[in-house]
Structure 1
């Protein structure tokens, strides 16, 4: 049951990232076309581009953590014994865990800040400017997904070490 939820979250994150990339490409194309061909600029496209970019960064970072593509310095791993290499991996996982914890802490603060700040670019079809929570929530959502995927990786690492000891 839990693995199906994780697979579903991963699928949603993958699809969302692809949609954001497509939307970013389309808005960039429309922006260039309207600006240089029709000499007309659409300011709302900047809002959409920023939205796509920031959400792609944080959801993509979470997917990178899931696939273990995050930062790992392995310059010495070829020269270390298996035992020392195992400790090196544990230290990297622990440091990554603390880094993600800091991101979550900052993500909560950013989310609260986004509730009180308003969009600066005028959006013509809205009666009042929206809060920036739709930007800043990406920080928190991406960080929480990073934590979830990292905890799963730690569980897999510890499970693998327990199997190796038996």
Structure 2
């Protein structure tokens, strides 16, 4: 289990780097779009399209990183009203439901990506599959990170039970 967690953390460090590079590219492209549109009065049609797809990749990849750190927005009313013992159980149930959702999202988004391979983007005329590929990649990473969080949660719960037994 520790090897899996280390593997996921290595993947996440690469994903962080990719997200950072994509964010820098997004800032540069949007800046170029503003300058060419309002200063030079000769807009770059392709920069808006690429910026849109880069933003989608940033969202899906960043969501995967947020899953690993439990930083997604959540309604935690139930977690606040249950006792500590049941809180951990409820948290595990929530993680299992999330992992199931991420697995289903991965499956459906792979199908959708293959479905749009024949379509082209409006301006650049490359396959829409490249734009849609952010969904299966991001949701697969969300699933893997969700499993890592589940493993850590189970590991902490096991350590606490062993600590109480001693």
* Length-normalised TM-score, structure 1: 0.88
Segments of 5+ residues of structure 1 without an aligned counterpart are 124-128
- Greater helix proportion: 2
- CA–CA distance in structure 1, aligned partners of residues 153 and 84 of structure 2: 14
Note the alpha carbon deviations across 1:19-47, whole angstroms, 9 max, x for none. Answer: 11111111111111111111111111022
Note the alpha carbon deviations across 1:44-99, whole angstroms, 9 max, x for none. Answer: 10221012101000000000001111243322434321122122212211221122
Structure 1 residues 68-77 or 101-110, which shifts more? Answer: 68-77
1:113 aligns with 2:109: no
Give runs of aligned pairs for residues 4-19 of structure 1, distance below 5 A: 4-19=6-21
Deviation at 1:4, TM superposition (A): 4.5
1:155 aligns with 2:157: no
Deviation at 1:155, TM superposition (A): 0.8
**Structure 1 match to 2:140:** 144
Q: Per the alignment, in what secondary structure is the counterpart of residue 55 of structure 1?
A: helix
- 1:81 is aligned, of 80, 83, 87, to 83
* Length-normalised TM-score, structure 2: 0.88
Segments of 5+ residues of structure 2 without an aligned counterpart are none
**Structure 2 match to 1:41:** 43
Structure 1 residues 86-95 or 47-56, which shifts more? Answer: 86-95
- CA–CA distance in structure 2, aligned partners of residues 43 and 19 of structure 1: 22
